[in-house]
Amino acid sequence: MSTPVPSLQIAETGYEVLHNPHLNKGTAFSEAERRAHRIEGLLPPRVCSLELQIARTHEELSNLDNDLQRYLFLSDLQSRNETLFYAVLMSDPATFMPLVYTPTVGEACQKFDHIFRASRGMYLPISARGRLREILSNWPQKDVRFIVVTDGERILGLGDQGVGGAGIPIGKLALYTACAGVPPQYCLPITLDVGTNNQELLDDPLYLGLERHRVRGAEYDAFIDEFVEAVQALYPKCCIQWEDFANINAVPILERYRDKICTYNDDIQGTAAVALAGIFGALRISGQKLADQRFLFLGGGSAATGIAELISEAMALQGMDIKASRARNALFDINGLMVTSRTDLADFQKPFALDHAPISSFVEAIKVLRPTGIIGVSTVPKLFNQKVIEAMSAINERPIIFPYSNPTSRSECTADEAYRWSHGKAIFASGSPFPPVEIAGQTFVPGQGNNVYIFPAMGMAVFATESTRVTEEMFIVAAKAVAEQVTEDNLAKGLIYPPQSRIFEASLHVAGRVAAYIFDKGLARVPKPADIDAHIRNAVYHPVYPA
């Protein structure tokens, strides 16, 4: 498989060419192209290279006052000149990831209705039930391989953003391309509008979604079923990634479709894989075995149970009984430790309920259960306070501290707090970025347990193989592939993930490992190539202008 740069074939002429983001080169149109397509006089006369356009864009961004302005600038660029947009992102992924996705996308979602510009992707309202296939067919690209879809109910740690959640699938798919080279023409961001329970949005005259409360129950399920059926009918090779659904819907949707179509939930499985990758990295520092670990989760939603289940399955692959491995992953929520005597547990939480007396204090749970690591997915900031970190440090030589909640304002603790309160003992990673920390002359580089290490690579592996399914074990393969790229020099600084400056090469490495698994398990729709890594690289999109 390869994605060669096509020759420039433009049906439109004149003004239209400059307003088609897939064809527009801006000032990079040659003099011959300007004459041929009747755009002479519509641009300044100097012909600029793509490299010069990238440099100009970097300068324009540096002159803006804040990250939301930079987000909007990049969004406008994507609507004007797609090639330049991806060339800018791929010129420095570590710099641009926080601008097109977390944490900046959170603010963009909150202000979506007040900053709306050009439309991107598709919006499918529940008011169109019975017509979803017809509406979905309005998308101009007829070979869609990836759909990232949200219903906007649980956007990051910000809650119900209604139709404003559209920023999430848009940002995710931009990273599919920027971080792993998935060709953007095969990607479609979708927002399912089933209403919102955010009264502030419903009272806002500028709100762009349906002015109604959220649909629940059988009507919601039927809408999701119709959506999946429409995607399967129109795009039979498409993988659906579910994103930022509330727990009450995220878990049942994944269970309903995971064995029927090519699909996964990044909040559940991607988050789990990046957490497991961090654990594999942490164990290289502590020198311990996975089977000897115990984890206590702050938060009991789908992210927590997803991570706990993947850790349990990884333990089971090393020979431990699955029930025993699940017992090493305890959950703690607003009502305390999840124990079998509680009557408020959802079905997806029950496998991790301990046969134990109730515990209402998180610090007390640490002292009693003696976990080697704590993982925060509560979306409530500052819950990993000094007493929590000190309790972990008292029972562990190198405590694993993972505050994974996003965005930064929702992190359970900062890197500085974890390192200082543990006196530099903590093995730390967070969901949002934090700067390096110096303790007693030693500099610690905090890792970011960002799903970006997983989902773009998973996307490239699925794209290159045309996989029929995304399985749980594929995420364990991906986690191991991430962790094996961390160098001894990285570990010496406390960094347990590959540097984000290497995200593109890291993603291709992970994609190669996952693709090999897909071929070995007979899940691919294409023949197994002699060189899988070369096959992956031949499929990569390169942001260059066609001749």
Residues designated catalytic: 101, 172
Q: How far is CA 1 from CA 79, 125, 497, 526, in A?
A: 28, 36, 30, 9
The Cβ-side half-sphere exposure at 403, using a 13 Å CA radius, reads 29
HSE value, Cβ hemisphere, 13 Å, CA-based, for 186:
23
DSSP 84-110: HHHHHHHHSHHHHHHHHSTTHHHHHHH
Closest CA to 299 of 289, 311, 310, 308: 308
| Longest alpha-carbon distance in the chain | 80
Reported as half-sphere exposure (CB side, CA atoms, 13 A), residue 139 has a value of 25
List, in order, residues 6 or more apart from 390 with CB less than 8 Å away. Answer: 421, 422
Q: Label the pairing between strands 373-376 and 295-298.
A: parallel
The contacts of residue 498 (CB under 8 Å, 6+ apart) are 453, 482, 485, 486, 490, 506
Beta strands in 453-523 (DSSP E): none
> Are 506 and 482 in contact, with CB atoms under 8 Å apart?
yes
Q: Could you give the count of Cα atoms lying within 13 Å of 463 in the half-sphere of its Cβ?
A: 33
